[in-house]
Amino acid sequence: MASSSLVSLPCLSSLKMTFKPMAVNSNSSRTSVPYELKKGQNRLFHKLPSGLKMEVIEQRKDEDERQRNSEKDNPPLVFVHGSYHAAWCWAEHWLPFFSSSGFDSYAISLLGQGESDEPLGTVAGTLQTHASDIVDFIESNLSSSPPVLIGHSFGGLVVQYYLANVINKQSLGTTNAFPELSGAVLVCSVPPSGNSGLVLRYLFSKPVAAFKVTLSLAAKRFQTSIPLCRETFFSSAMDDQLVKRYQDLMRESSRMPLFDLRKLNASLPVSKPMENSTKVLVLGAKDDFIVDDEGLKETGRFYDVEPVCIEGVAHDMMLDCSWEKGAEALLYWLCGLSKTGKFICLID
């Protein structure tokens, strides 16, 4: 299946693996207007042990390039969205970018989001259930090569929970651990302690911003106000029409809350990862309206890495006007993993 060529869209633009059979999308859409896939993308549904189905948008690298490099495959990339988003947020720009750079790429919609099924109850799940769903997808479909797991915002917190449960099975002789990863990437991620510290800092240092964040996210005013949606997620240069398009997709994507935030905060901070060799990239945005500089530094300290902060992009780094800045920084980091000789790195 040919992947689409990399195209840098302006702001006014609208390991060979064997898969367990998954159905291609039918007409039984969960949202009123499903995200329209780009060339080279497929919408699949992964059936979980519960019987619920989880949406996966895949975009695999070019078949010719796959055959040329069959002995040295890059790790697959698995993308996890945050609140009010779904798999589509990665499919817009980053899936085409990374598939054209030689990586099979898969974006997951967590339960209750996007085109995925809704679980029973009032919220989509917990850190444990969301991470376990990702584990099931990886073990069922990507067992031939450990993936790189990439999480944005609250999806980054899910990735952190996953990291805390990765154990070197060979050294410990256990089969009850989460599958090993080739790497983990936290994009504008909620820090290990959760969002409570972020809220308190805003209240004392930026009360107007604190009010806007609460109005935008807790009261969901971003769903009806284009200026507030832009200020919360995007750069000021983004055109109204594009903000409106993403605003509509966010509203359609989040049919139920991703977490019960009170219970979530009571369970934090996440545990420190057990001793393992997983490499971690902490990637932040200079103009992030949600995760402040101290939150980014906290995450870096927790994983003993220096955060990479991208200038000129906002919280939704993968959708923003200069989305390619974050993608290129991530690709550069992936090329560092390739220095082991295991992976192929394609940079124009």
In a domain, 34, yes or no: no
Q: Is residue 25 part of a domain?
A: no
Residue 31 domain flag: no
**Domain-located, residue 200:** no
pLDDT at 186: 98
Per-position pLDDT tens, the chain of length 348: 333 323 333 343 333 333 343 433 333 467 777 899 999 999 999 999 999 999 999 999 876 555 555 556 799 999 999 999 999 999 999 999 999 999 999 999 999 999 999 999 999 999 999 999 999 999 999 988 899 999 999 999 999 999 999 864 544 455 557 999 999 999 999 999 988 777 677 666 677 666 676 666 676 788 899 999 999 999 999 999 999 999 999 999 988 999 998 899 889 999 988 766 799 999 999 999 999 999 999 999 999 999 999 999 999 999 999 999 999 999 999 988 865 444 555 544
Q: What is the pLDDT of residues 171-185, one digit of tens each?
A: 445 555 799 999 999
In a domain, 348, yes or no: no
Local structure of residue 266 (DSSP, 8 states): H
- pLDDT at residue 216, rounded to an integer: 62
Please state, in angstroms and as integers, the Cα–Cα distance from residue 13 to each residue in 40, 94, 114, following that order.
19, 15, 22
- CATH code of residue 266: 3.40.50.1820
What's the pLDDT at 4?
A: 32
What pLDDT was estimated at residue 22?
A: 40
Position 318 scores a pLDDT of 98
- pTM of the predicted structure, to 2 decimals: 0.86
105-127 b/e (C-beta count within 10 Å ≥ 16 → b):
bbbbbbbbbbbbbebeeebbbbb
Q: Note whether residue 112 is domain-resident.
A: yes
List the domain range (segments joined by +) for residue 109.
Answer: 41-169+176-194+257-337
How far is 280 from 182, CA to CA, in rounded Å?
9
Among 139, 153, 138, which residue's Cα sits nearest to residue 254? Answer: 153
CA 298 to chain centre: 19
Domain annotation covers residue 333: yes
Assess whether the previous peptide bond of 269 is cis (omega < 30° from 0): yes
pLDDT of 103-133, one tens digit each?
A: 999 999 999 999 999 999 999 999 999 999 9
Torsions phi, psi for 118 (to 5 deg): -100, 130
State how many domains the chain has.
1
* Residue 289: inside a domain: yes
